[in-house]
Structure 1
């Protein structure tokens, strides 16, 4: 490895919390000529930068609104379980009209109509119930899980919105290069057709140029279709029209992530990855469920105080309370000892023991999946970083080759097939370069999502590296940062 390569690999990419691994580099030597310049007219529209689009998605996205609403509902579960520890007061009142008739053989029938009414007030309090204690703890764990899921949804909205934004820019860059190739093929077709008519070249050369033009036109049509699909997806996430007209600034370089920083980011992942945190809480949740079912075997104690008032107005009554008012106070202390319920509690307890084992297995599986995703993101980011320098050199080499073959074709020493092949290689290398640039950014966003570090602050750091696109930048299919100052 050369000293320059070692120096580059030793540089820190600064991809820690709320940072962005970009650095500006000096502009490369001018490598294009007027032959490849492409004029694209744009209509004036409102330009939305990345941070504005992400903020709009966080405000409007229905999935996030649903998650936040579910969180508010889950907060009441804790209050519902807390109510088991508070006293309950119940009151009831009743009134009855009694109308009776007694038919006698030896005497006249007797009619008896009277009203009795009364009230009852009972104050009760659970003094000890282990199941209620564990149930309350389980409700708090459930709330923690719901909070994590809400934050995970919020981060997913940021990830999906930002990556779709860059997918749109990626498609736009592809269209820009392919449009330039298409217009170049159109110009060549007109020239070759004119030369065939004048008898300067063989007619077969026109067919090769025509075939390449149609292939390019078909590719361009597919790219525009894909761009419309991406824009529709972005507007669905944001729920409003979007015009992504901010792009990465010129002369931005992308660095690899070194070994030391990989270890730091890996540690952050195990502390902040929402999927891991949720899996850990689910293990705790299973253990709480086991404690809750185990409490079904423990006695519970409940106390109550009641007061009853009854007023009976039965004129024919001849037993207590006869005709009059009855007041009664009742004090109760109830000890409930579970003995046997057909084995249901026992099997529930055993089932929850198995559920703990399953939750622990799921947690370990989640750790392995997160680690695998983390490693893949690191490998891809470093591969994109390493490939960008090579792709830049390939563009310059292909351009120089294209210019040379173009001159040789005019002199008659190279065929039209050679020229078309050189042009295809040039524009393919441009598209490969643009793909690597935006894929680096998209993968970095996914990495930040994996380690639980994707926030509006992180997006703001990215937005600082972007600026509005204008006509002068859109004029050339060559990547902007390869242009000389």
Structure 2
């Protein structure tokens, strides 16, 4: 009669009393979309990116201002006293001067290209903000599933510790009745101590993962909904690397932003070249004040008792102002050379980014296809290792295997469990990363995962597919019959 090993039963004797290991009420469990919404509302990095975008978009009105009329007005009050020695004459008066000046650029090529550069830079900033918002979708998923991965890892290490504890108890019992020697007890004790150390480390990793989630969202979470094992593990659609690369070349947000970066650099180059061009402005001015303040003092009238500084004057003027730059100490030429290099820099950065996007897209496409096969292979590996462990334990009971064989088989089993869960989460995240590289990632992709989240997910019971025990028993029976 087969003595089938059950991982769930092994968990019954696992150490308890850990905050994250306790099952939280269903109402307190948080889903993936809620985590993303909290991150979008509270993430400090995203808030900083939005502020940066709002600041950079002000470059457009600032550049446009150089092409619009410039109007200024002012007033001044002056008190003056004039003493004349011969003939003795003293004059004291105070007067006000009011003035207004209007300037309208008519031909300012440098300012026009500066506006074009500012508009391109604003478009670049908008796309970079969108890329940051899209990256937050992926970051939310990565942080969320990092918690689930850590919880599943903790559950498997607890089960492993319980299994080694049971093996240690059996070794002690066999030693007490003389069926084994002290070496078996020491080997079992060493295996249990290692498993206990691994469980303590796994516990800390769960707490670290929840801390990362708090850092992302500025919210405290008690527990998260887990992902069901029924999640379809499918190849990407379309399963054509070239199609994904073409989509990435057309839609990757950072690549599109780099195109506007090149446009902004080219417009800045045109602006610098325009430093050699003449400028033409329409100017108008109005002044009203004492005649002496405007240079029209009536100094020729010096009759006794008559003030030579009496009377107000109004002055209006309108005209064109042409400026032809001839030499500025080499400043303009140096700025043109610098702008040439900035264009070259932006083009090379864009090319580097394009190559990186192509590489990442192809790599992620291969990764998703590999993950599909890996998940299935890792699942089969659990079945095979569980069957091997059961067979080894039977051999140990009849004396054909020793305690070292059993401990090694247990290590292989729980290692395959962790590898399987890692493969599952790698598949989910690589799918999202592939969509981000292609520029198609959106909150809808998180909503699509929602239907496979399990509100009553218990890592201690659900870290393995429910059909593994039967599959392992069937495989073991088949091997024994053979």
TM-score > 0.5 by shorter chain: yes
2:249 is equivalent to residue 282 of structure 1: no
Which residue in the other structure is 1:248 paired with?
227
2:450 is equivalent to residue 478 of structure 1: no
CA distance in 1, matches of 2:239, 2:360: 18
Q: Does the residue aligned with 1:89 lie in a helix, a strand or coil? A: strand
Q: How does 1:12-161 map to 2 (within 5 A)?
A: 33-34=5-6, 36-37=8-9, 38-39=11-12, 41-44=22-25, 46-103=28-85, 110-161=89-140
Which residue in the other structure is 2:248 paired with?
269
Contact 2:40 2:46 in 1 (8 A): yes
Which residue in the other structure is 2:274 paired with?
295
Measured against aligned partners, the alpha-carbon deviations of 1:384-418 in whole angstroms (never above 9, x if no partner) come to 21122222222111111211221222222221122
Contact 2:244 2:361 in 1 (8 A): no
CA distance in 1, matches of 2:469, 2:457: 15
CA distance in 1, matches of 2:269, 2:7: 75
Contact 1:53 1:242 in 2 (8 A): no
CA distance in 1, matches of 2:239, 2:229: 29
Deviation at 1:303, TM superposition (A): 0.7
Q: Does the residue aligned with 1:253 lie in a helix, a strand or coil? A: coil
Distance 1:484 1:292, change over 3 A: farther
Contact 1:130 1:295 in 2 (8 A): yes
CA distance in 2, matches of 1:481, 1:295: 74
TM superposition score normalised by structure 1: 0.86
CA distance in 2, matches of 1:162, 1:447: 13
Which residue in the other structure is 1:12 paired with?
none
Aligned length: 450
Distance 1:191 1:303, change over 3 A: same
Measured against aligned partners, the alpha-carbon deviations of 1:228-266 in whole angstroms (never above 9, x if no partner) come to 222211110111112442122232231233775322221
Q: Does the residue aligned with 1:140 lie in a helix, a strand or coil? A: helix
CA distance in 1, matches of 2:7, 2:52: 59
Contact 1:32 1:399 in 2 (8 A): no
Distance 1:295 1:366, change over 3 A: same
Counterpart selection for 1:383 from 370, 378, 386: 370
Distance 1:369 1:74, change over 3 A: same
Deviation at 1:345, TM superposition (A): 0.9
Q: Does the residue aligned with 2:29 lie in a helix, a strand or coil? A: coil
CA distance in 2, matches of 1:385, 1:483: 22
Contact 1:116 1:312 in 2 (8 A): no
2:340 is equivalent to residue 340 of structure 1: no
CA distance in 1, matches of 2:169, 2:292: 115
Deviation at 1:162, TM superposition (A): 0.9
CA distance in 2, matches of 1:453, 1:423: 43
Q: Does the residue aligned with 1:252 lie in a helix, a strand or coil? A: coil
Give the unaligned 5+ runs of structure 2.
13-20, 302-307, 472-482
Q: How does 1:322-341 map to 2 (within 5 A)?
A: 322-341=309-328
Q: Does the residue aligned with 2:240 lie in a helix, a strand or coil? A: helix
2:216 is equivalent to residue 237 of structure 1: yes
CA distance in 2, matches of 1:231, 1:160: 14
Which residue in the other structure is 2:430 paired with?
443
CA distance in 2, matches of 1:287, 1:139: 11
Give the unaligned 5+ runs of structure 1.
1-30
Measured against aligned partners, the alpha-carbon deviations of 1:78-129 in whole angstroms (never above 9, x if no partner) come to 112222222222211122111233445xx7x543211222211222211111
Which residue in the other structure is 2:414 paired with?
427
Deviation at 1:273, TM superposition (A): 1.4
Deviates more, 1:427-436 or 1:192-201: 192-201
Which residue in the other structure is 2:383 paired with?
396
TM superposition score normalised by structure 2: 0.87
2:184 is equivalent to residue 205 of structure 1: yes
CA distance in 1, matches of 2:202, 2:24: 20
Deviation at 1:483, TM superposition (A): 6.6
Bigger RCO of structures 1 and 2 (CA < 8 A, at least 6 apart): 1
